[in-house]
Amino acid sequence: MSRIFIAGAAGNIGSALIDTLPDKAEIVAGVHSPKKAERLKARGVEARVIDFADKGSMVAAMAGCDRLFLVLPMQEKMTRFGRLAVDAAKEAGIEYIVRSSAYGASSDAHWRLGRENGMVDQFVEDSKIPFTVLRPNSFMQNFSTILAPMIKSGIIALAEEDYKVSYIDVRDIAACAARLLGDHEGYTDAVYALTGPQGLTLADVAETIGSEAGVKVAYTPIDEEAYIEGLDGAGVPEWNRNMLVSLSRVIKLGMMGNVTQAVEYLTGTPARPFAEFAADNAGAWR
């Protein structure tokens, strides 16, 4: 039986992909701790502990698998991790890769986070392993996880002015990946930009969350200096801070509000609107 190795299986997209794939017996989940592995095993999913900095651990973990879903942690060594993961895939005999990258990524992108992701995409392409790259826009789930405490305080304070972002639900990213991992004929050696169905300002986001969750929240634009001070105050590592600042600058260039139909093209189902996400996650903000 062919098997899928999910690198980064405990993350936002990896977890959603495990929930989406119909046959848990064909999944091997790559996680970073025995505790996470035990939790997945309790759900009937085989889990193997990997270290993105150790190619040998990834080669061993991918043994017996022929398809790879590759998503990487947003850490300073992300491009190094990507190179090692692709090299491990070649050594382990992986025959097809679905790479989850980032919207607007390119190895020569003028913004840092896009360039870092784009370099990993290039490693995948250069490997000569058949591949499909997914480049999703910012996740709706960021509002129900890392930004939830801010929203609970009643204010979304970010440095994005009034520009739009076509946020995407990670469940739609997972649906696209699941479809490709099941049958990728006609979709190999291709790149798809994934977005939600509409571009939204943060004022739109605040209004929708307030309406769906029954809470009071408003958007207060801040300048970049205040944004950086907030990230530093929250203990965000310097590299991650610089990546987030680069993302906010690209948003303010108007580059993140475009809408594609790629989710519907790949899955046959339109991308979820933000209101549906907010209704499903209302408890995160109450």
CA 29 from centre of chain: 16
Laid out side by side, the sheet with 46-49 consists of 46-49, 27-31, 4-7, 67-70, 96-100, 131-136, 190-194
- Is residue 178 included in any domain, yes or no? yes
Note the pLDDT of residue 1. Answer: 64
- Is residue 45 included in any domain, yes or no? yes
- Is residue 149 included in any domain, yes or no? no
- Is residue 122 included in any domain, yes or no? yes
Q: Are 118 and 157 in contact (CB under 8 A)?
A: no
Q: Are 157 and 225 in contact (CB under 8 A)?
A: no
Specify the number of domains making up the chain: 1
Q: Tens digit of pLDDT per residue, the chain (286 long)?
A: 679 999 999 999 999 999 999 998 899 999 999 999 999 999 899 999 999 999 999 999 999 999 999 999 999 999 999 999 999 999 999 999 999 999 999 999 988 899 999 999 999 999 999 999 999 999 999 999 999 999 999 999 999 999 999 999 999 999 999 999 999 999 999 999 999 999 999 999 999 999 999 999 999 999 999 999 999 999 999 999 999 999 999 999 999 999 999 999 999 999 999 999 999 999 999 9
- Is residue 207 included in any domain, yes or no? no
Q: Which domain holds residue 18?
A: 4-136+168-195+258-270
Q: Are 11 and 71 in contact (CB under 8 A)?
A: yes
- Is residue 240 included in any domain, yes or no? no
The pair of structure tokens assigned to 74 is: 């947003």
- Is residue 55 included in any domain, yes or no? yes
CATH number at residue 28: 3.40.50.720
Note the pLDDT of residue 24. Answer: 87
Note the pLDDT of residue 25. Answer: 87
- Is residue 65 included in any domain, yes or no? yes
